[in-house]
Amino acid sequence: MKRAKAVVMVLAIVGLTLAGCSSDDSSGSSTTTSGGVTVPPTGDSTTVNIEVGDTQGLDGPMTMTVSPASAAAGSITFVVKNTGTIEHEMVVLKTDTPFDALEVDAEGKVSEDTSIGEVAEFAAGTTKSVTLDVPAGSYALVCNIAKHYGMGMRAAFTAT
C-alpha cells in the first residue's frame, strides 16, 4: 500500500513538473497567424505600421512607408503589410548612418550586422509582425532582398 501511494505521489509530481514546462515564447519577438494574416501579440507594446510595396517587381520602383517614424524605446510591434507584387521583408538595423546611405554589396544588399530583428520574407498581399525590445537610437528599416534596398525599400526610424 505504501508503495502504491509513493507511485501516485511521484506521478503527481511528474505531471506538475511537465505542466510547468509548457512552451511559452515570451522572448523579444513573436508573431501569431490568424486566417493567413499575422496578428501582433497583445500587451504593453507600441505599434508601428509599415507598408512595403512595388508595382512591377524588380522592373519598377519600390517603397517602404513607416507610421509613426518614431516611438518610445522599449517593446515595439512592427506590423508590416506587403502591398506589392512579390515577396519582401523588413529588417531593423541600429545605425547612425543615414537610412539611405548604407553601404551596398555586389548583390545589392546591406550588412545585417547591427540587426535587432526582422520580419523574414513574406508573400505579396499578406501582413506579418514582430515585437522587439528596441533600445533608444537611430535605425534604418530595410528590405534586404537583393536589389530592393537600392530600389527604395528603406526608411528611417527613431526610438526615443
Model confidence over 90-111: pLDDT tens digits? 999 999 999 999 999 999 999 9
Mean pLDDT across 111-132: 97
The band of 44, judged by pLDDT with boundaries at 50, 70 and 90, is confident
* pLDDT exceeds 90 at position 126: yes
Residue 143 has pLDDT above 60, yes or no: yes
Q: Across all residues in the chain, what is the average pLDDT?
A: 82
According to the model, what pLDDT value does residue 132 have?
98
Q: What is the pTM of this model?
A: 0.74
Residues 6 or more apart in contact with residue 131 via CB below 8 angstroms: 28, 29, 30, 40, 41, 43, 45, 75, 76, 77, 78
Cα distance between residue 46 and residue 137, in whole Å? 16
Instruction: Please check the confidence at residue 40 and state whether its pLDDT lies above 60.
Output: no
Q: Where are the domains of the chain?
A: 42-159
CATH class for the region spanning 42-159 = mainly beta
Q: What is the pLDDT of residue 15?
A: 41
First to last CA, the chain: 66
Q: Which residue blocks in the chain are alpha helix, DSSP H?
A: 2-19
pLDDT reading at 62 higher than 90: yes
**pLDDT tens digits, 7-34:** 444 434 434 333 343 333 333 344 433 3
